[in-house]
Structure 1
Amino acid sequence: MVRFIHTADLHLDQTFKNLPIKDDYLQYALSEATLNSFDNLIQTAINEQVDFFLIAGDIYHGARATLRAQFAFSNGMQRLADADIPVYMIYGNHDFDADADHRLKLPKNVYIFGVEPETKYLSTPAGESVAITGFSYDQQWISEDRSEAYPNRDTLVDYHIGLLHGDNSSTDGQKRYAPFNPSQLASHGYDYWALGHIHKGQVIYENPAMVYPGNIQGASFKEDGAKGALIVNLAKGVPAELEFIETAEWQFQHS
């Protein structure tokens, strides 16, 4: 069995400036909320001693990430490195990697996928082999279905995971965000699809599991309720076991 974190849509430098907040303390608390949720997520990964950590895009809220957000992310990655937890990440439509020179160098435990689908491999402490396939955005909008270029399951590994930041083509009318068809994803034979882009946590396909974990901190009343990430347990021949972990200390709620 492998055990890992699946997160996406961190949006570490979102500002909440569009909210009509007059209370200074509340404004300050919300300005810290996303970074605090990220800190809680990193600590959970360390406490749970997961095998690896997946990020399915939109680490930052914009392509020109703030230094504060970059330092927070880099420090989080270093904490995972100190705990011997590798990180596999892609960039999405918000944090697309058009100019990598302005971003801080990350620790060596972080593996970033390129702009074309590629596969990276790891071996867990228990000796199980895992293949992870994904790609990063290099522009804000991607109209074609990049999942068609994903290879079929590597039969030589114990588990094969797809990492994708995009939207179900049957629900995305504009088809600007790497649209995909769940049936097409399933045809690749992977054991799990770690999705990003949709901020509401949901399972869109059962076997294999195709899952959006949602964002780690709501940014408006449209993103109400608990926010966090997933701990995923994968074992051969059984459905993926999903455990939601709430990391956000602040929630938007309708009265």
Structure 2
Amino acid sequence: MTTPYQLYYWDGLQGRGEFVRLALEEAAIPYADVARQKKGMPALMASLDGGQVDHPSFAPPVLQAGGMLIGQTSNILMFLGARHGLAPRAQEGRLWANQLQLTICDIVAEAHDTHHPISTGKYYEEQKKEAKARSKDFRLHRIPKFLDYFEGVVTRNPGRGGWAIGSRLSYVDLSLFQLIEGLRYAFPKTMTKLAPSYPALTALHDQVAARPNIVAYVASQRRIPFNEDGIFRHYPELDK
């Protein structure tokens, strides 16, 4: 089996790398999750080193495709989507998919900042008071604002099938699945309360969850469990 892609992301974390993994898994593309292999971390760090590569990334995820190193989640997905049938064929559709993916990246960043509102260099325990205030605003205002937007995207999509774009699954649908999974893990009480307001997103999530390649991936050891070192973290005191 050939391995056309090398994915560089931190070992032990879903993080932003998970959005890329889901696209690779859905398209049944062989890939190496480099940092999880022997001597993988030095290889990951080399992808960020401007002294060793011409186009270093600021941070993972990074995808190596032949001689190319591609950074940033939305950039990687735009590349994979066009190459492997996970994005619209027309330029307008591909730009729309990238726009939606960038918006998903926005809420993912805000989810991270609920538990690290002051500094990523400090432990959560050093900013718990601020995290409670940030999480309250995120739960009451920001989650509904983003989900309202994505619910509207899905319900207004002229294509059939309940997807975000057109009439077939795209990488945006995979990313919305991961977003909902992450929010349910981090804020289960909040998401249970909000669920009835978002039937289209719930249906989209369930459709993705039932796809054979995603079912197999989620059940495999390749799928790293959510944990309190990643972007989506469950601290009960932040979900009251």
TM-score normalized by the length of structure 2: 0.30
TM-score normalized by the length of structure 1: 0.29
